[in-house]
Amino acid sequence: MKRVDWNALDDAARAACLARPGGGGQADIEAAVRRVFEQVRADGDSALRALTRRFDGVELGAFEVTADEFASAEDAVTPALRAAMVEARGRLLAWHRAGMAAPFELETAPGVSCGRMLRPIRRVGLYVPAGSAPLPSTALMLGVPAQLAGCEEVVLCTPPRADGSADPAVLVAARLCGITRVFKLGGAQAVAAMAVGTASVPRCDKLFGPGNRYVTAAKQFAAMMAGGPAIDMPAGPSEVLVIADAGAPPVHVAADLLSQAEHGPDSQVILATDSAALAEAVAAEVARQVAELPREAIATAALEHARLIVVGQLADAFELSNDYAPEHLILAVREPRRWLDAVQSAGSVFLGDYAPEGLGDYCSGTNHVLPTNGAARAWSGVGVQSFQKAISFQEVSRAGLAAIGPCAVEMARAEGLEAHAQSVLRRLEVRA
């Protein structure tokens, strides 16, 4: 892990220190994604079969999971895992329900009533990765808010396993959220199928879910299509930034860094601390712990992009964190709530020594589909509002029009839009 003295760096060196890995080859990825979309648009299901054969090594006749496959999945999942998913879903429901937006209406002037109503997005497409490991937790994280929003149709795509089946735990998680349409499709071709539609896969109005660089590029390409679907956010390789003081247990900090490093070789983990001694202790602990992990090779590759940053004071750590805008931010400091106001940009924040990021990934109740690659400067994590549309409305009486109409006329004429002014004046039975 690269160790850095933050105070010794100039602005350019600091920017380089916080650069995300894997920035190269983006043009090639975008070109590959464009070709996938062209194939799926032209040849539909035939293209999906060919792409699945090429990228997943699986020959599929039908993509959609059958009722028998759902039943087999229930038998394949252990009672302990199913109980854990039910427990996690309960907390997700509670947290998301508490944060739901509400419709409202108020009188903005006598005789002028304005309000907002909420409507679910009609058809949404969820992507659940299963690259180096299936992620049934992502099915819950996307399925729960979609269910609370009341979306009419929910479509879920997840890559097929070597035997052509979908991961049983993903299917059980989907069923717990009321999702019955699951397709064994992965990668950019799954995104393309949900974006343009095929004979088998319905075209969706908005796409959700994390993925690798190809999936992220495919979602962004879909969103730029004329009449294409909206997307939840840019959600690529995982990342964590830990801000720790001298009192943080090195064993905990190291475990938190490795919990993200094991996601993939393009994940990034960063420690920012005002204690050089802690940085040294964490480095030693990371080296010890990584050797014990089943995914040691993946985590070790990710650690090539890791940074141990020593700052002059904790305030500097929060400043660099806000510039970096991490997907996950862990505050391994004494009195972490005292520092919460200093956080301006982050996907999700974990306070104190007993809030590992792993809880947020699975069962604390918050959502783990979060903005990455600095998108947390402007984007939020997935919530019920992500699956809804807010539609404004207004009702105006004759007295209300008389009260506020002159305001509209004045502003319309200032903008040179006389027809706008006349739409008010004609109702007032006054001619310009």
- Is 368 a known ligand-binding residue? no
Q: Is residue 327 among the annotated active site residues?
A: yes
User: Does the pLDDT value for residue 430 go beyond 70?
Assistant: no
- Is 322 a known ligand-binding residue? no
- Check: CB of residue 278 under 8 Å from CB of residue 253: yes
The Cβ-side half-sphere exposure at 132, using a 13 Å CA radius, reads 14
Q: In whole angstroms, how far apart are CA 194 and each of 206, 246, 318?
A: 9, 49, 39
The mean per-residue pLDDT over the stretch 92-104 comes to: 97
- Check: CB of residue 188 under 8 Å from CB of residue 33: yes
- Is 361 a known ligand-binding residue? yes
- Is 214 a known ligand-binding residue? no
Radius of gyration of the chain (CA): 25
At residue 23, the pLDDT reads: 67
- Is 256 a known ligand-binding residue? no
The mean per-residue pLDDT over the stretch 365-393 comes to: 96
Compute the mean pLDDT over every residue in the chain, rounded to the nearest whole number.
95
134 or 81, which is more confident = 81
Q: Is 254 exposed, middle or buried (0-12, 13-18, 19+ CB in 10 A)?
A: buried
What's the pLDDT band for 235 if we cut at 50, 70, 90? confident
User: Does the pLDDT value for residue 80 go beyond 50?
Assistant: yes
Percent of the chain past pLDDT 70, that is, above it, reads 99
The mean per-residue pLDDT over the stretch 413-420 comes to: 98
Q: Where are the alpha helices (DSSP H) in 245-309?
A: 250-261, 276-290, 296-302
Strand, helix or coil at 53?
Answer: helix
User: Does the pLDDT value for residue 432 go beyond 60?
Assistant: no
Percent of the chain past pLDDT 90, that is, above it, reads 92
Strands (E), 284-365: 307-310, 328-332, 348-351
The mean per-residue pLDDT over the stretch 268-291 comes to: 97
At residue 70, the pLDDT reads: 97
The mean per-residue pLDDT over the stretch 184-205 comes to: 97
Token pair in block for residue 14: 């600091």
One of 328, 357, 395, 429 is an active-site residue; which one? 328
- Check: CB of residue 190 under 8 Å from CB of residue 183: yes
- Check: CB of residue 390 under 8 Å from CB of residue 116: yes
Q: Is residue 328 among the annotated active site residues?
A: yes
At residue 431, the pLDDT reads: 45
Residues 6+ apart with CB under 8 A from 418: 412, 432
- Is 415 a known ligand-binding residue? yes
Give per-residue pLDDT as tens, 311-344: 999 999 999 999 999 999 999 999 999 999 999 9
The mean per-residue pLDDT over the stretch 118-125 comes to: 98
At residue 25, the pLDDT reads: 84
Residue-range domains of the chain with CATH: 26-232 (3.40.50.1980), 236-364 (3.40.50.1980), 397-432 (no CATH)
The mean per-residue pLDDT over the stretch 129-134 comes to: 78
User: Does the pLDDT value for residue 392 go beyond 60?
Assistant: yes
- Is 245 a known ligand-binding residue? no
Q: Rounded to an integer, what distance in angstroms lies between the CA atom of residue 217 and that of residue 239? A: 18
Other beta carbons less than 10 A from residue 223's beta carbon? 16
| pTM score, whole prediction | 0.93
The mean per-residue pLDDT over the stretch 287-309 comes to: 96
Give per-residue pLDDT as tens, 24-42: 788 999 999 999 999 999 9
One of 252, 327, 357, 368 is an active-site residue; which one? 327
At residue 132, the pLDDT reads: 67
